[in-house]
Amino acid sequence: MGRGYSIAVVGATGAVGVEMIKTLEKRKFPVSRIKLLASHRSVGKKLAFQGEQTPVEELTHDSFKGVEIALFSAGAARSKEFAPSAVKAGAVVVDNSSAFRMQEDVPLVVPEVNPQKVKDHRGIIANPNCSTIIMVLPLWPLHRVARITRIVVSTYQAASGAGASAMMELQKQIAEIGEGKRPGVVVLPHQIAYNLFPHVDVFLPNGYTKEEMKMVHETRKIFGDDLIMVTATCVRVPVLRAHSEAVNIETEKKLTAGEVRAILAEAPGVKVVDEPGKKLYPMPLDATGRDEVLVGRIREDISRANGIDLFISGDQLLKGAALNAVQIAELITHA
Q: Are residues 146 and 65 part of one domain?
A: no
121 with 141, same domain? no
Catalytic, 234? Answer no
Furthest-apart CA pair in the chain: how many Å?
60
To the query of whether residue 243 is one of the catalytic residues in this protein, the response is yes
The per-residue pLDDT of the chain, averaged, comes to 97
237 and 136 in a single domain? The answer is: yes
Catalytic residue, chosen from 121, 130, 143, 234, is 130
Same domain, residue pair 279 and 326: no
Residues 330 and 310 in one domain: no
Same domain, 95 and 139: no
CA 200 to chain centre: 14
List the beta bridge partners of residue 244.
156, 313
Say how far apart CA 82 and CA 76 lie, in whole Å.
10
Beta strands in 141-292 (DSSP E): 148-157, 229-236, 243-251, 270-272
CATH code where residue 123 lies: 3.40.50.720
The pLDDT tens digits for 152-201 are: 999 999 999 998 899 999 999 999 999 999 999 999 999 999 999 999 99
Over residues 218-235, mean pLDDT? 98
Q: How far apart are the first and last CA of the chain?
A: 11
Q: Are residues 183 and 235 in the same domain?
A: yes
Domain of 194 in residue numbering reads as: 132-316
List 121, 143, 234, 243, catalytic entry? 243
Do 244 and 289 reside in the same domain of the chain? yes
Task: Give yes or no: residues 101 and 204 share one domain.
Answer: no
CB 285 within 8 A of CB 296: no
pLDDT one-digit tens code per residue, 250-264: 999 999 999 999 999
Please tell me the pTM assigned to this model. 0.96
Is 1 a residue whose pLDDT tops 60? no
What's the total number of domains in the chain? 2
